């Protein structure tokens, strides 16, 4: 039972355009959401996060949007660059639960083409 779902296994975007990666969750107890980026043969690295008290968080070219009523979040990358090509994992946790146990989605492979 996947509590965090990334329904698009892959996405291809042209350099300079916007990349939008989507994530849905089912557990209403989740109150903190993260995006991790993974290059081949490396471990995932933290990219950006958002608390459930916000609906948007921005860091440079990366913006995460949260729609709690729809249990949906998205990561926008603009403008997309070839170095952004990687697998992006959405993750969720319950901060009020006192821990940092993350539940991950299955990932979306982003390819940014020249």
Partner 1 sequence: DAGVIQSPRHEVTEMGQEVTLRCKPISGHNSLFWYRQTMMRGLELLIYFNNNVPIDDSGMPEDRFSAKMPNASFSTLKIQPSEPRDSAVYFCASSLVESTIYFGEGSWLTVV
Nearest to 37 by CA among 27, 48, 26, 29: 48
Residue 6 lies near partner 1 (rule: CB under 8 A): yes
Select the span of 21-29, 50-58, 72-80, 88-96 touching partner 1 (CB under 8 A): 88-96
46 binds partner 1 (CB under 8 A): yes
Q: How far is the CB of 42 from partner 1 (least distance, A)?
A: 6
**Should residue 3 be labelled a site residue for partner 1 when binding is judged by CB under 8 A?**
no
Cα 43 from Cα 55, distance rounded (Å): 28
CB closer to partner 1 out of 64 and 107: 107
Rounded to a whole number of angstroms, the CA Rg of the chain reads 14
Alpha-carbon gap, residue 42 to 30, rounded angstroms: 27
């Amino acid at each position: 039972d996947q509590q965090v779902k990334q329904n698009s296994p892959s996405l291809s975007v042209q350099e300079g355009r916007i990349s939008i990666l989507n994530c849905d969750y089912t557990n209403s107890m989740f109150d903190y959401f993260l995006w991790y980026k993974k290059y081949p043969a490396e471990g995932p690295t933290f990219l950006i996060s958002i608390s459930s008290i916000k609906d948007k968080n921005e860091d440079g070219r990366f913006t995460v949007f949260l729609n709690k009523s729809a249990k949906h979040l998205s990561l926008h990358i603009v403008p997309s660059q070839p170095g952004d090509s990687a697998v992006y994992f959405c993750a969720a946790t319950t901060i009020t639960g006192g821990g940092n146990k993350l539940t991950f989605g299955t990932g979306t492979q982003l390819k940014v083409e020249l």
